[in-house]
Structure formats: structure tokens, C-alpha cells
Amino acid sequence: MINEDEPAEPFGASYLSDWRSRRLEEAKSSYNQILNRLWASNGAGAATTLTAVGAAMKDGHLPPASFLLPLSLFLLGLLMLVVGAAIALVAEARVIRNLESAESILDLRADYIKSPSEQAGLSLSSWQTRMAVGAAVALMLGVITGFGILMFGSG
């Protein structure tokens, strides 16, 4: 017998909830993979550029100043990732400290609550995501300028 006092669940609500949870976990995983790849790519770009500079200096040639542009871009990308991670860590530590001292839900601030898309890193409201976008732009510019130097010379 159906209890009329209980609200009826919308059709497929449990499936929808499962799908949302899976998509959220997939997005979080993708976000973390992207961050790891940005660290590795900017680091590899900086190391490669430094290796090229070192090889040119070993041969007795002063490397062109244009080599500094891709190197600076890769290092900027790494710096942005460090800043984003540090800001995110400090912010999360502050929220956790405040949650530990909260005695009721009324003690919480509204900005402690994140939407699922924010939890997955899919919002530019997060400093870590903003810095990751900046690091991706720096990586692409570093690759483009490095490739230009390689193909067309240093001018």
C-alpha cells in the first residue's frame, strides 16, 4: 500500500542522482589529470629550454636572448600553478578550521558550500582554476615561441 503522506520521488530521480555523482567524479579526475599534466609540461618545457641554452653555451656560443622568452613563459606557468595550489590550500585550511569549531549549521558561512561544478574545479571562482588556465596559456605561448625560434631562428 502506498503511503500518501510521503512525497513521491520524481521519475528516474535515483538514476539521475547516480549519473550526476559519476559525472562529478569523472570531472574531478579530469581536473586533477589536467593539473598534473600542466605541472609536467611546463616543467619539461623549462628543462628543455635550459638544456638548449646549456648546449649552446657549451659549444662556446652565447644563446640568443630570444631563448629567454619561452623559458620565462614555462617558468611563469609553473609559478602560476604554485600560487594557485598555495591559495587553494590556505583557503581549504581556513574552512576546515572554521568547520571544526562550528557547533551548528548556523555557524557556517554560505561561501563554505560549493556546488558540484565548483567541487570539480569547473568554475573560475577558484584561484587554483584561474591559475591553471593561466598556466595553460603560458604553456601554449611557450611552445609556440619555442617552435618559432626553432623553425625561423632567433632573429
pLDDT in tens, 2-38: 566 777 788 888 888 888 889 889 988 999 999 999 9
Look at the pTM and tell me if it is higher than 0.85. Answer: no
Residue 70 lies in a domain: yes
- Could you give the number of structural domains in the chain? 1
* CA–CA gap between residue 45 and residue 71 (Å, rounded): 7
Residue 85 lies in a domain: yes
Domain with 68, as residue range(s), is 38-152
pLDDT in tens, 134-144: 999 999 999 99
Q: Quote the distance between the C-alpha of residue 137 and its chain's center.
A: 12
pLDDT tier at 145, thresholds 50, 70, 90: very high
